[in-house]
Amino acid sequence: MPPLSSAYEATQLMASPLAPTPVAQRAAVQIIAGTTPGLTGEMSSLLASRLRNVALVLSVGFIVFTVLGLFDVDGLTTMWHRAQWWTHLGVTMLLMLIAWRLCVRCTHAIASLRVVEFLIFASTTFEFFFNTNVAQIETAPLGFLINPVHPWIVLIFIYALYIPTTWQRAVQILGPITGLAVLATWLPSLLRPEVARVLTEQPIFVSVLANQSLAIVFSAGVAVWGVRTIGLLRREAYEARQIGQYRLKKLLGKGGMGEVHLAEHVLLRRPCAIKLIAASKAGDPQALARFEREVQATARLTHWNTIEIYDYGRTADGIFYYVMEYLPGMNLQQIVERHGPLEPARVIHLLTQVCDALQEAHQHGMVHRDIKPANIFSAYRGGVHDVAKLLDFGLVRDQFSKATDLGLTQEGLITGSPLFMSPEQASGDTPDARSDIYSLGIAAYYLLSGRVPFDADTPIKVILAHAQQPVPPLSVPDLEVPADLEAVVLKCLEKRPDDRLQSASELRDALALCGDAGQWSRDKADLWWTDCGCPEKKALDAEVCEMVC
The catalytic position among 356, 370, 432, 516 is 370
Quick count: other Cβ atoms within 10 Å of Cβ 517? Answer: 17
Q: Give the three-class secondary structure for 430.
A: coil
d(CA 156, CA 217): 10
d(CA 299, CA 14): 23
Please name the residue ranges forming H helices in 253-315: 285-299
Quick count: other Cβ atoms within 10 Å of Cβ 21? Answer: 18
What single letter denotes the amino acid at residue 139? Answer: T
Rg (the chain; Cα; Å): 33
Active-site residue flag, 516 = no
The set of long-range contacts for 54-61, using a CB threshold of 8 Å and a minimum separation of 24, is 54/120, 54/158, 54/162, 54/163, 55/95, 55/96, 55/98, 55/99, 55/102, 55/120, 56/95, 56/99, 57/158, 58/95, 58/120, 58/124, 58/158, 59/92, 59/95, 59/96, 59/99
d(CA 327, CA 387): 10
The DSSP element (H or E) to which 466 belongs, if any, is: helix 459-468
The DSSP letter of residue 265 is E
Positive or negative, the Cα torsion across 285, 287, 293, 295?
negative
CA-to-CA separations, 430 to 138, 367, 398, 415, 503, in angstroms, rounded: 95, 10, 11, 11, 17
Active site (catalytic) residues = 370
